[in-house]
Each structure stands twice: as C-alpha cells, then as structure tokens.
Structure 1
Amino acid sequence: MTTLTALETSYRRQLRARGLSDATTDNYLRSLRALVAWLDTNGLPKEVEQITRHQLQDFVLDTADNTSAATARFHLGNLRPFFGWLCSDEERILPRDANSATGVRCPKPKPVARPTFTGDQVAAFLRACRGSTFDDRRDTAIIRVFADTGVRISGLVGMRYTPDAGHNLENPATDVSLDTNPPLVRFRLKGGKPHLVPVSAATVGAVDRYLRARASHPKAANPALWIGRTGAISGPGVAKMLKKRAHQAGLEGVRVHTHRWRRTRATQLLDAGASAETVAELLGWSDLSMVATYASESRQRRAWNELRNLQL
C-alpha cells in the first residue's frame, strides 16, 4: 500500500509536467497535506487504497465547520484531480472505479454579513475632511467619488489628469468630465476596458475645488489625478488616508477598507429599487451573478419597507 505522503513528490512532478505554475502546484499540494493532517488527527489510515468516499466527505464537512465553506470547496477542488490521477490509465495506482472523490459534495456557503457604510458614517467622513487645505480638498473629492461610484481602488488610483487637456473624455489623459450632462468620471476596469460613471453635483463641486488646488501643487505635472507630497497616491496610500479620516471622524470600531465603498454603493442602489442590470452596468460587472450577493442582503430590507408602506 502507498501513503499520500509517499506520492507527494511524484504528484508534484506530474503537475509540473502538465505546465502548471508553481503557485497552482503549491495549492494542490497544500490541500493534499491538509487531508493528510486531518486523517492523522482522526487516527485514520493514510494509504490511498484505504481512503473512502465517506472519509473524504467528512474531511470536507469538518473543514467547512472549522474554517469556511469556501476553504472546503478550495480543498475539494484541488483534491479531485489528485484522486483522478491515482485512477488514470497512466498510473493505475487505484482501479478506475475506486475514485474516492466521486460524489463528494461541498456544503453551501453560509450567508456572511457584509457591512456597508451608513449615511451617517459617510457624513462623518466628509466632516472630518472639512477644511481648505490641499489634503482636505483632495480627500473630500476622493470620498465623494467612492460614494458615488463604488469604484475599485485600482480604478481610482489609475485615474489620469492633464490640465491642458481640459475636461474632455476624448483625450485619454483626462478622466474627469465635469461639464457634460451628466457629469462623468472614467475608470479602467480589470483588463483595461474604460468605464464611464455619472457623478452627482456635490461630487462635481468637490472635484472642481480639488483641481483648482491641484493646479498650484508642486507635483501638478504628475499624470495621475490624485497626488500627494511625493507624487501619485497609491492604493495603500488611499487606504491609509481613509483610516486616518475615520479616526478623525470618531468611527472607532468601524472596519474601514476601500472595497466597503463598493458594497455600500451596490447595496444603496438595490435598496432604492435599481435592477440587477443597472447595478452591474454602473459598477462595471459583466456578470449579473456578481450582483446576487448584494441583492440577497437588501431583499429583506426591501420587503420590510414594502410591508410598512402597505400599512396592513
């Protein structure tokens, strides 16, 4: 009989022969080691010939209980190719009909609360930026753009601005158009595809005030729209700014990260009755299934609001 551990080196060679990256290979082996550790903890045999489908199912369920359904799915997805390899015509370590991964299922993920910023919290952010310094004007503009668009951090820091180009989106060097109807900002989605999103009059005013302050900044020649003391602001720089402003706003204990603005905007649109198609278009999703998580979270609130309006 052959143990899982004894096969690890051969399996690694097989994965590399298939042209898989080192990262993918490491993930496959990580799941294999997780199974070995679970078998050892539970006093079960580690010989491949003795591992049953029921044991593998128990491993998946225990992993989901102790970590998450996503981790269980990750490990099962990595282990399926391994057990297929054991039963392949080339290896024949196990008979073709002895694949223990056949029929093993993953539990459905449990609903996870994904908090959003409340209206009061957004207002507190903006109050913390109230002032006339360069940082105050820049941070106000950034927070309003976040709140209006739910842009990913990569899209925000990737925005460009060249004063000589004006506010003309036909010029790729400028990603703000404050005088069109509606006013627009342009981001680049994953893969570089340009994406236009309307912004509110309050955001137009905030961006305009920032651009006037930016014109006399020592780093004004930098092609990035958002600049600071040393040049373009990075994603970590924006995250640091948000945490600083949250502290100034008294939002202690509130988890502050850039993606929370995206959840906030998606949920806000759905609560207001926007369709999944509209939310996907505004947030730059090509797959409507991306909206499903946010829709499920706001569905109960919409039902309660509708019931209240019915006055039964």
Structure 2
Amino acid sequence: MLDELELHLSTTTNRLGRPYQQGTIRAYMTGARTLHRWMIQAGVEEDFTACDTSLLNRFFRHHYDTHDVPKSQDGKGGYTGGTSTLQRNVRVLFAWLEEEYEHPNPWRDKKLHRYSAPPQGKPKTLSSEFVTDCLKVTGNGNPRVRDFETTRDHAIIRVLTEGLRAEELLNLRVQDLDLHGHTLVVVPLKGDRNSQDGRTIPLQPKTVRALQRYLRAREEHSLSQGPWLWLGTRNRNRLRYSGLYRMVKRRAEEAGYDSAEVSPHSYCHTWTDDLLSSGVSGENVMAVRGWKSPAMLRRYAHDQASQRAVTAVHQLGDRY
C-alpha cells in the first residue's frame, strides 16, 4: 500500500490544483511509514485498512509518549510539531483509503483524539560574528580561493543570508539567477517555473560576486551542463538537504562554534532581524519572503524584537 500511496501523491494535486512538492510527499510518506512500523511492533499483521479509531488512538498516544513529552520536559518544546504534525500527515493516508478502498475515515469519528502542537522554542537568531566567521572559513570571498567545495560553500552561505529556506535554495537552477540585475527568482512549487509564480529575491553585492565565482568553479564539474545550481563534490549529482545540513554544521564547527546552535533555517530568522534592524518595513520583508500573514513576520522577528525596540528608542536621543 505504501507504493500505491506514493504513486497517488505523485500524480495528484493539492487544494490549489498544483502538484505536491517533493518535501510534502516525503512528509506524508514518512507519516505512513511511521504508522506501518508501529503496526508491526504492535503485532498488527493486516494492512492499513485494519486501522480504526481505537487503533489510531493507541498509535498517536504511543508517539506522543515517546516523542513529544521528552521534548517538552527539556524546556525546548517539540519544534517539529510532534504528534500534531504526524496526525496531519497521516490524515492524507486515510483520505486516500476512503477514496480508493471505501475504508471508514477515522477523522470523521469524534472519538479520534486530536493533539495540539507542542510548545515551540524561540528561534535563535545568529549573531553577526557567527555569520562573519562562517564566511571567513569558506574563503571570505577571496578570489584566490578557487577550489570547488570552498567556493560553493561560501556562495551557499551567502545565499542563505538572503533569507531563502533550505528547500528554496536547493531547488535553484542556473536559469533562476540574474546576476546583472542583482536578483534571483525563487520558484516555490514544482512545475511552475515562470517568474509570475516566483518571488524575486534581491541580492547583496558580495552575494552576487560569490555566485559569479561559484559559477566559474562549477564549469569544471562533470554535470555543469545540468540545470541544478548546487552540485555535489567529487563530480556527484545535485546537492540534497542532508549535504546542506552537514555543510552548515561543519562550517560552524570550523569557525569555532557549537554546531548544535545552527541549522540552515537559522539564517531565515537572522535575515528577518537584519532587515528589520536596518529599517526595512515589515510590509517589504513580507513581500520579499512571500509571507501572506503578519503572523509569520511576528514568528520570525520575535527573537530579537525587544533588542530592536531598545535600539530604535536609543536612536531618538534626548526627546526633551
């Protein structure tokens, strides 16, 4: 059934009539596989059609006890959404079972236990020293540094400082760059590769230069004629999230920091604080980032909100 579900997800569209992103499909499949593994451990030999409300309540309770509670006890909260996220992902499986196998959908049963998202820890904005030091260990934009990996990593960190999410960065193609215009286009959904569906991201001058140097180094790669911007080392295929994640952690350690304090997404929060601290309006930040709700701006800007307020008031000087 797992193969059938994956085929269904890859050939259907979301509520907006667009193909599901690969990350979304992976999340839904991970939820289904998590349920499948638990069923085996629980001694349930049938397929997913054996799942009723009672069995799912047992499954979700087990997941909550073994995943959400420890995260909450350490004071950090379940940042990934825990059982609440798992329920949303597994729900897709049972909507499909209802349609294809006429299996009763437990989500229509009021007895199904719903879990709220666990408390989220505050996002950590990276310090300017942290970002600067990570750029230094990747050559700091020195034109004499020409090896592929260092040049690529420096360009990636530069692009991360422009506020891109990991998936947006990894899905960039060479054609998405407009270095003469100091911009790039982020296309959010698979299959919608035209500028009307994307967001234009303004680039810092140093980011433009870093990308230009990376493109020169990229020409020596065996896959340089391919569409994907970020390629793997030793002539391997396009860079994936696992490679990006390890690179960000490794460069942080090389710069003398605890790698546990950073992830690719940390740069998104840092970008938001950078722009707001520099006087860019919240409206413009939302437009560049592609946010529709001010709640997202508050979420990403919350970490340093008090410090920005204090700085803004201090800049007024004597008022009387």
Instruction: Please give the range of the TM-score, normalised by the shorter of the 2 chains.
Output: 0.5 to 0.7
The residue identity in structure 2 corresponding to 1:259 is H
Matches within 5 A, 1:230-241: 230-241=236-247
Matches within 5 A, 1:72-151: 82-83=109-110, 112-130=121-139, 131-148=145-162, 150-151=163-164
In structure 1, C-alpha distance between the alignment counterparts of 2:252 and 2:78, rounded to whole Å: 30
- Aligned to 1:232, the other structure's residue is in SS state coil
Match of 1:94 in 2: none
- Aligned to 2:256, the other structure's residue is in SS state coil
Identity of aligned residues (%): 25
In structure 2, C-alpha distance between the alignment counterparts of 1:271 and 1:310, rounded to whole Å: 15
Cα deviations across residues 128-161 of structure 1 (Å, max 9, x unaligned)? 111321111111111111112x111111111112
Match of 2:103 in 1: none
Matches within 5 A, 1:117-266: 117-130=126-139, 131-148=145-162, 150-161=163-174, 174-180=175-181, 183-190=182-189, 192=192, 193-228=197-232, 229-266=235-272
Structure 1 residue 295 displacement after superposition: 3.3
Structure 1 contact 147–265 (Cα < 8 Å) conserved? yes
Structure 2 contact 218–224 (Cα < 8 Å) conserved? yes
CA RMSD of aligned residues (A): 3.9
CA 1:234 to 1:36, structure 2 compared with 1: closer, same or farther past 3 Å?
closer
Structure 1 residue 204 displacement after superposition: 0.9
Matches within 5 A, 1:300-311: 300-311=306-317
In structure 2, C-alpha distance between the alignment counterparts of 1:220 and 1:143, rounded to whole Å: 20
In structure 2, C-alpha distance between the alignment counterparts of 1:249 and 1:178, rounded to whole Å: 29
In structure 2, C-alpha distance between the alignment counterparts of 1:311 and 1:290, rounded to whole Å: 31
Structure 1 residue 290 displacement after superposition: 1.5
- Aligned to 1:197, the other structure's residue is in SS state strand
Q: 1:281 aligns with which of 287, 294, 297?
A: 287
In structure 2, C-alpha distance between the alignment counterparts of 1:215 and 1:73, rounded to whole Å: 45
In structure 1, C-alpha distance between the alignment counterparts of 2:179 and 2:228, rounded to whole Å: 17
Structure 1 contact 64–72 (Cα < 8 Å) conserved? no
Q: 1:32 aligns with which of 48, 54, 57?
A: 57
The residue identity in structure 2 corresponding to 1:284 is G
- Aligned to 2:172, the other structure's residue is in SS state coil
CA 1:190 to 1:270, structure 2 compared with 1: closer, same or farther past 3 Å?
farther
In structure 1, C-alpha distance between the alignment counterparts of 2:131 and 2:137, rounded to whole Å: 10
Structure 1 residue 256 displacement after superposition: 2.4
In structure 2, C-alpha distance between the alignment counterparts of 1:29 and 1:276, rounded to whole Å: 46
Give the gaps of 5 or more residues in structure 2.
1-28, 36-47, 92-105, 140-144
Structure 2 contact 155–210 (Cα < 8 Å) conserved? yes
> Normalising by the residue count of structure 2, what TM-score does the alignment of the two structures yield?
0.61
- Aligned to 2:283, the other structure's residue is in SS state helix
CA 1:27 to 1:176, structure 2 compared with 1: closer, same or farther past 3 Å?
farther
**How many aligned residue pairs are there?**
236
Greater radius of gyration (CA): 1
Structure 1 contact 63–72 (Cα < 8 Å) conserved? no
CA 1:200 to 1:29, structure 2 compared with 1: closer, same or farther past 3 Å?
farther
Structure 1 residue 126 displacement after superposition: 0.9
- Aligned to 2:184, the other structure's residue is in SS state strand
Structure 1 residue 276 displacement after superposition: 2.6
Structure 1 residue 36 displacement after superposition: 7.7
In structure 2, C-alpha distance between the alignment counterparts of 1:35 and 1:242, rounded to whole Å: 33
Matches within 5 A, 1:45-60: none
